């Protein structure tokens, strides 16, 4: 048998048996088999966890300076909310990805994460505003020791009717005029970074949900390919 005949038989064999087809002709794996982590940025959840822990620690340190500080002056609770948001982001990372929220669990987790990121953004902006006000106020304080564990501060010591701020549980007024403004400044920086990360998280979910949409029903195509992404 000649070489030309063997070549023609080999070609016919490849045409009859699909096993001899090239690997590049095989269909790509379905999109539903991809993991959600391939699309969701894990870095956002990690940054939220780190910033949330840092904000909570600084908030508790601020609260330890005086028992007279209010909740808006010690925003540790914002850090705890960001930590919970990051946990939801890790859960979203572990869920097997299915396109267009075909499972209720995936839709609920994505919606919860989106809402928490939006809430975290609003709270971070509010904390920046409040801590900025308290930072400017504490930097202008003139304090004196009233009792052994109380510190009385005012903005203008020469004004007899000026408002007086009393901080209980403070042995040294230097804590109010030096350490407390430093904590407020750190809180502003951390919450600014938190706001940026929350914006990134909401943008990622919004982009995946609304910038990839379907153009309509196709005619004369298999049912699995009825929709086409625009």
Question: Are residues 153 and 165 in contact, defined by beta-carbon separation less than 8 angstroms?
Answer: yes
Residue 59 confidence (pLDDT): 93
Distance of alpha carbon 137 from alpha carbon 141, whole angstroms: 7
Residue 209 confidence (pLDDT): 56
Structure tokens at 22: 């090239």
Q: What is the pTM of this model?
A: 0.69
Question: Are residues 146 and 166 in contact, defined by beta-carbon separation less than 8 angstroms?
Answer: yes
Report CA 171 to chain centroid distance, whole Å: 39
In the chain (230 residues long), the average pLDDT of successive 10-residue segments reads: 50 48 44 44 87 94 88 91 91 65 73 90 94 89 81 82 83 86 94 93 72 40 46
Which residues, 6 or more positions from 102, have their beta carbon under 8 angstroms from its beta carbon?
Answer: 32
Which residues, 6 or more positions from 27, have their beta carbon under 8 angstroms from its beta carbon?
Answer: none
């Amino acid at each position: 048998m000649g070489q030309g005949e063997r070549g023609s038989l080999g070609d016919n064999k490849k045409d009859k048996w699909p096993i001899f087809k090239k690997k590049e002709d095989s269909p790509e794996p379905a999109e539903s088999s991809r993991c959600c982590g391939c699309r969701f940025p894990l870095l956002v959840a990690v940054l939220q966890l780190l910033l949330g822990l840092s904000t909570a620690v600084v908030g508790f340190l601020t609260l330890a300076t005086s028992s007279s500080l209010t909740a808006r002056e010690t925003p540790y609770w914002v850090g705890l909310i960001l930590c919970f948001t990051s946990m939801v982001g890790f859960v979203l990372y572990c869920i097997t990805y299915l396109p267009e929220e075909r499972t209720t669990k995936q839709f609920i987790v994505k919606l919860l994460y989106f809402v928490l990121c939006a809430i975290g953004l609003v709270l971070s902006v509010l904390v920046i505003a409040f801590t900025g006000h308290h930072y400017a106020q504490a930097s202008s304080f003139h304090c004196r020791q009233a009792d052994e564990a109380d510190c009385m501060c005012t903005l203008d010591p020469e004004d007899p009717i000026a408002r007086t701020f009393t901080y209980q549980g403070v042995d040294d007024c230097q804590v109010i005029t030096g350490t407390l403004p430093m904590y407020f400044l750190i809180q502003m920086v951390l919450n600014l970074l938190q706001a940026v990360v929350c914006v990134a998280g909401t943008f990622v979910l919004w982009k995946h949900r609304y910038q990839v949409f379907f153009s309509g029903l196709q005619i004369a195509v298999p049912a699995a390919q009825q929709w086409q992404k625009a």
